[in-house]
Structures are given as structure tokens and as C-alpha cells.
Amino acid sequence: MEEPAVGDVFGEMIKDAYAVHTGVGPRPLAGGRWPRPVIEVIERDDGLINGAPAGHYLEEPADWRPFDHRALRLVRGHVLDIGVGAGRTAVELQRRGMAVTGLDTSAGAIEVARKRGLRDTVLNTVDAYAVASARYDTFLLLGNNLGLLESLDRGPVLLDALARLANPGARLIAQGTDPYGTTDPVHVAYHQRNRERGRLGGQLRLRLRYRRLATEWFDYLNCSPAELEELVAGTRWRLKAIDDEDRPYYLAVLELAG
Amino acid sequence: MEEPAVGDVFGEMIKDAYAVHTGVGPRPLAGGRWPRPVIEVIERDDGLINGAPAGHYLEEPADWRPFDHRALRLVRGHVLDIGVGAGRTAVELQRRGMAVTGLDTSAGAIEVARKRGLRDTVLNTVDAYAVASARYDTFLLLGNNLGLLESLDRGPVLLDALARLANPGARLIAQGTDPYGTTDPVHVAYHQRNRERGRLGGQLRLRLRYRRLATEWFDYLNCSPAELEELVAGTRWRLKAIDDEDRPYYLAVLELAG
């Protein structure tokens, strides 16, 4: 088989999902006739593959899961929404009159977020953006984007970059997933395999695919609150609260140390 | 990455789709809590990947596409439904009082078709089953299963096996897709690449994936009616009619030569 090309998988997918959602412009059709659902394909390095309808990136607040609503109640001041995607939560914050900036590394995602009305966007990595003079009071990592902490090595580096973008007393609200409640043998074996390789059990090695595009392989971290506490120790952040009302999903609230 | 294991991809997928559909038994859940849609993942040998919700294998007649209804109106006598899957069309024929046998190579598919009430099932390949003494008046290849003809080499061999299972005057109703109407550069380039390798343009090289399972790579033929006519020539079958009212999808009606 030919390897897929490396490209803006998320952007191409979200542009198609947005076209299907709005019915405007060229969009995927079966036989040039019937709407074709847009599916995000996620490969894991143990050969596991998973498809998920991309529509959830465009969901209105009425369709959100409860923890997303609770997360937005914790927001204050100037907000940086990291991995803003199609602007699902950022557009809602803007609608509520909050000052919100959406950051993403996907040009296609930023394009869709802007079409949906998000005014302030940044196409960049956190690391590169951390040299900017902008400062924020709240950082959002929603849609399971606590996973962007990647690993015990990379997580503190990302948190350091965010500390450079932070006003005094800034807060970081991250939605994560505790992977260890599962009894699915596929996942239990994967956690064990990871540990044998010196990785955290839920340190997923993934790539996304859409049509003929793939991302590079990347780490994405599903960790327990205890593992998160270990990762945060030694950074300029403190873990202030865990809201695990919707276990295994949780919200972690971090605050910048004084 | 570890290669996925070879196994009954379709069966595992359709069992999960059926569990989601009925709400009975263990089924995929996100976070052990929210239903997770079951997605069929199809890889093509040019690196293209496509995900499609598996629910359409379980659709009731009210949700079918028009050509499926027209196909069932062409059925007569004892019917062999080839690639019966979850029994979408066979269960409906049985409901109408027809004598129908469902054949599939997937144990999981046969299990689901039987749970849905299909009484007469065969877990086998057409080739191996063709030594049986059963005889049929109609063969159905629906759900795009004209694709099972695979290639100009393999198609006539499959048609020969079906001729051995046929009563005099038997009819074969196959639903296909003419691939050449598309202007999508990904598909146009793929057709060209196939021709350069001595294959029919729409002779897809595919594998299915679900969770940690994959099929072997196999050929699946999307051909034009003209290509089908060429394939049928020299077999014991004659192409009697093409219904292309829902282009690019079509129904081909073949009859056994006298």
C-alpha cells in the first residue's frame, strides 16, 4: 500500500464537516448525490483503528456533554482556547461577551472557526506563540485536549510555555480522560505494553487520517488525576481541583503559582 | 506500528452495530457511558481511507435507496442472497413469503442475520458452496456486491460457480457503481494508476478494518456497464438489462443462457 501523505488532516476533515453541516459549497457526496458523513479516523500504534463522526466538533451548546458547560463556568478574564478546532467553545464564549483567542496548528480549523464568527485567532504552536507579548488569564484545553500534554517529559515543557503567556494568578482548565477504569482487554493490554516501554499506560501513540492524508505519529496523553499531579509537580502550576463528576472524563483546574 | 490481526472484521463490526441498534448486550460505549457509533473503515491501496457508519447494514426498507426496492421486484423463485451481511434484504424477502437463503463468509454476519430472524443461512464461499445440490432461481448481489466479481479474471470464475448453483433460466441481479463519472482528482488518478498496472480503472484494492482486526487485501470491482458486458462475455450468463436510473449506481440483470 502507498503511505498516505502528511498534511493538514484535521483541517481538511473539518472543512468538509462544516460544508456538510451548512450545506454550503462543495462537500462529500456518495455517488455525487447523497451526503456522505465525515468521519475522523484515528490509528493507534497497536493496530487499533477507530472512526468517529466529525460532527461533534461543530455541536451547539445544547448538545455538549455536561463537563463542557461546567468548564466554561470556570473561565475568567482573557481566554486562550488551545486546539480551538472549529471554535465550538470559543464561539460560545465570544457570544457571552468574553475576550477569547483561539489557537490551533491547523490552517483549515482556523479557517472554519473564523467562518463561524470567531474574531481572534492564532495559527501557531503554543511554543512558538509563547514569545508573543499577549497575556491570558485562562487557558482552555477542552475536547480532551489535556492529551496535548503528551508525556511526563513534554507536559512540563508545554506548561512552561503557557506560564510565559500567563498573567499573574492565571488558571488552566483542561478536560482529560482517566483511562484506567476500562476492562476492555484491548486497552488493558495496551496500557501494559506502554508501561513495559517506560511510557505512561495511557500515553497513546496516534495518528489521524482523512482521505489520502495522515498526520505524523504523535503522543496524546490520557492520564489519571494522580499521574497529572506528578506531571505538574516541578512546574510553575499547581493542581487546584479535579471535577470527576462524569468519570472517566474529568476537568482539571491548574493555577499559576504566585 | 503493529499490523492489525487478520480476522472477521465485518462480523465483529456488524455484531457491535447490531448491539448498538437494539440496545441489547455489550456494546461500544465512550467512557463506558455514551453510545459510540460503529464505523466501518475501508483502506484503499493508494493510501485513501474512508469511514462509514455501519448502521446502513441494518436499515429498514423505508430507509433504503430506491434501487434496492426495484431490485427486489425482479426476484422470483428460490433466492440466494450473496454477501447477505446482517440480512437487510433477505429478511425482507422472507417477510414477503419468498424462499431465500443468505450466504456469507463472515460468521459474525450470519450470527446477526439469524438473530434478526433469517432462517436459511450458509456460512461459506460461493466457490465451495457450488458443489452443493441446492439450486436457485435468483442470485442477489446487492449493497454494491457486484464488486465481488473482483476483476476480468476472477469475475467469470465466480459466475461459473453460480451457474452450477442455478436452475434453468436463473437470473442474477447485481447492484454496481459506475466509477467513471467522478471528477474527484483522487479517484481519477487512481483509475489511471490502475490502468497503468493492467487493471480495470475501478478495480479497487481494499481492506476493511475494525478495532484491531483487518481483512487481507482484496479486489472489489466498480465497473461500467460496458466493462461488465465484456466480463460476462464467454460465460454462461447474458447481460439482459441495466437499470441506471440512480446513476452512478445501477442494477444489472443477467440470465443464464439456455
pLDDT tens, position by position, A1-18: 899 999 999 999 999 999
Selected residue of B41, B190, B218 to mutate for chain A interface (largest A Cβ count, 10 A): B41
Q: What is the pLDDT of residues A152-191, one digit of tens each?
A: 999 999 999 999 999 999 999 999 999 999 999 999 999 9
User: Which residue in A has a C-alpha nearest to residue B39's C-alpha?
Assistant: A51
> Quick check: A26 pLDDT over 90?
no
Q: What is the pLDDT of residues B215-229, one digit of tens each?
A: 999 999 999 999 999
Query: Is A47 in contact with B5 (Cβ distance < 8 A)?
Result: yes
Instruction: Please report the pLDDT score of residue A29 as a whole number.
Output: 87
Instruction: Please report the pLDDT score of residue B45 as a whole number.
Output: 97
Find the CB nearest A47 among B3, B50, B182: B3
Q: What is the pLDDT of residues B100-114, one digit of tens each?
A: 999 999 999 999 999
Nearest partner of B154 among B108, B226, B223, judged by Cα = B223
Instruction: Please report the pLDDT score of residue A25 as a whole number.
Output: 85
The span from the CA of B158 to the CA of B128, in Å, is 11
Contacts of B177 in chain A (CB under 8 A): 31
User: Which residue in B has a C-alpha nearest to residue A185's C-alpha?
Assistant: B212
> Quick check: A27 pLDDT over 90?
no
CB contact at 8 A, A256 and A169? yes
User: Which residue in A has a C-alpha nearest to residue B26's C-alpha?
Assistant: A184
What is the nearest CA distance from A48 to chain B, expressed in angstroms?
4
CB contact at 8 A, A143 and A214? no
Instruction: Please report the pLDDT score of residue A117 as a whole number.
Output: 98
Query: Is A186 in contact with B40 (Cβ distance < 8 A)?
Result: no
Query: Is B210 in contact with A49 (Cβ distance < 8 A)?
Result: yes
Instruction: Please report the pLDDT score of residue A157 as a whole number.
Output: 98
Contacts of B39 in chain A (CB under 8 A): 39, 50-53
Contacts of B218 in chain A (CB under 8 A): none
User: Which residue in B has a C-alpha nearest to residue A50's C-alpha?
Assistant: B211
Instruction: Please report the pLDDT score of residue B125 as a whole number.
Output: 97
Contacts of A56 in chain B (CB under 8 A): none
Contacts of A247 in chain B (CB under 8 A): 31
CB neighbours of B97 closer than 8 A, spacing ≥ 6?
A: none
Query: Is B1 in contact with A217 (Cβ distance < 8 A)?
Result: yes
Find the CB nearest B186 among A32, A37, A211: A211
> Quick check: A28 pLDDT over 90?
no
Q: What is the pLDDT of residues A107-123, one digit of tens each?
A: 999 999 999 999 999 99
Q: Which residue has the higher pLDDT, A28 or A108?
A: A108
Query: Is B246 in contact with A33 (Cβ distance < 8 A)?
Result: yes
pLDDT digit string (tens) for chain B, length 258 residues: 899 999 999 999 999 999 999 988 888 888 888 888 999 999 999 999 999 999 999 999 999 999 999 999 999 999 999 999 999 999 999 999 999 999 999 999 999 999 999 999 999 999 999 998 899 999 999 999 999 999 999 999 999 999 999 999 999 999 999 999 999 999 999 999 999 999 999 999 999 999 999 999 999 999 999 999 999 999 999 999 999 999 999 999 999 997
In order of their start, the domains of chain B are 64-201+217-256 (3.40.50.150)
Query: Is B46 in contact with A2 (Cβ distance < 8 A)?
Result: yes
Selected residue of B33, B48, B206 to mutate for chain A interface (largest A Cβ count, 10 A): B48
Give the 3-state DSSP-derived string for chain B, with helices as H, strands as E and coil as C.
CCCCEECCHHHHHHHHHHHHHHCCCCCCEECCCEECCCEEEEEECCCCEEEEEHHHHHCCHHHCCHHHHHHHCCCCCCEEEECCCCCHHHHHHHHCCCCEEEEECCHHHHHHHHHCCCCCEEECCHHHHCCCCCCEEEEEECCCHHHHHCCCCHHHHHHHHHHHCEEEEEEEEEEEECHHHCCCHHHHHHHHHHHHCCCCCCEEEEEEEEECEECCCEEEECCCHHHHHHHHCCCCEEEEEEECCCCCEEEEEEEECC
Instruction: Please report the pLDDT score of residue A35 as a whole number.
Output: 83
Q: What is the pLDDT of residues A34-47, one digit of tens each?
A: 888 999 999 999 99
- Which sign does the torsion angle of CA A152, A156, A161, A167 carry? positive
Q: What is the pLDDT of residues A194-207, one digit of tens each?
A: 999 999 999 999 99
User: Which residue in B has a C-alpha nearest to residue A49's C-alpha?
Assistant: B211
A:B CB pairs within 8 Å: 95
What is the nearest CA distance from B257 to chain A, expressed in angstroms?
32
Find the CB nearest B41 among A3, A51, A212: A51
Contacts of B5 in chain A (CB under 8 A): 47
Query: Is B181 in contact with A32 (Cβ distance < 8 A)?
Result: yes
> Quick check: A69 pLDDT over 80?
yes
Find the CB nearest A181 among B32, B181, B182: B32
Selected residue of B20, B27, B39, B183 to mutate for chain A interface (largest A Cβ count, 10 A): B39
> Quick check: A258 pLDDT over 80?
no
Compute the mean pLDDT over every residue in chain A, rounded to the nearest whole number.
Answer: 96
Query: Is B32 in contact with A248 (Cβ distance < 8 A)?
Result: yes
Query: Is B47 in contact with A4 (Cβ distance < 8 A)?
Result: yes
